[in-house]
Structure 1
Amino acid sequence: MARLIHLNGAPGVGKSTIAERYVAEHPGVLNCDVDRLRGLVGGWREDFGGTGAIIRPVAQAMIRAHLAGGHDVVLPQLLADEVERARFRAVALESGHAYVHLLLQAPPGAARARFYRRPPGDPLHAVVRAVVDGEGGGDTIDDLDVRLAGTAASARGAIRIDAGAGIEDTYAAVLGALGGA
């Protein structure tokens, strides 16, 4: 049975870094980074939220197809809304595959600090930073982290991963939660 491995968490907590490392070490696994897919839609820089609504069904189709081939998929995507999480979970479960929800959380302020330490030069990060800054900056990241903790506590099967000690320890915890895979 293939798995949809959802790495959820606030911006800056390490979702994309963990996903990139995981797929590098696990041939055949798809890194379905929805934020990267937005860049395939014209106007994504001007309407980041709107392109998310356009690309999420495309990502779900990609995930469905990859799982059907018997391969795992990693989804490094902040999904604070249970309705949105349910849509991705359904893609896996309705086709007979597993959905693993890993919530990466760092101590208060850590995700914010990591987010603002990201090196410049990545066009996606520049847009995400502008979106975050436009919505309240670091306070928004802290608020998302708290909101995620609350919604994940009530979410079916969410596994909390301590992302506070750094990428190596976080990656080891993710592997442990996935059964050492």
Structure 2
Amino acid sequence: MAYSKNMGPFICLLIIIIDVIAGILGIEAEISQNKCRDPSYEAFKLGFAAAIMLAFAHVLANMLGGCICMWSTEELDKSSANKQLAVSSLVLSWIILVIAFSMLIAGALSNSHSRADCGVSHHRFLSIGGVLCFLHGLFAVAYYISATATLAEEKKLNEAAPVTA
């Protein structure tokens, strides 16, 4: 992307901070849910906020990291280590996003209405989703770093390649 080299660490830190906040919100939602407020509107708000923060961190990493795609296994075999890391961390970040987002939304929705029983939730959707937010941050940052490195490599190769008319 057209960002200065000094922006990279700031963007990585921003992604990590957003994912950590999402994780903390998810865990706090679980704690609030287990206090048995009938209905636990606080857990609903915290779980929903965690899901929004997780999605925002994912969009940020993907938009600022650029698009790194592989269309065949041959291309994967011929690609640089940075490109292979970018693709694998992108796939893993998407998998974690889907699981964590689903768990946070399921946990939040279970608190959107009154529960018949009180006590500790057996599902732990919110806390597991919160912990997965931390893991998502690692893979999202790995994607951002490797994707920007791949784009820089490709730019250097394109500049060094002779122009044929």
Alignment TM-score, normalising by the size of structure 2: 0.25
Higher helix share: 2
Higher strand share: 1
Higher relative contact order (CA 8 A, sep 6+): 2
Which entry has the higher C-alpha Rg, 1 or 2? 2
Alignment TM-score, normalising by the size of structure 1: 0.24
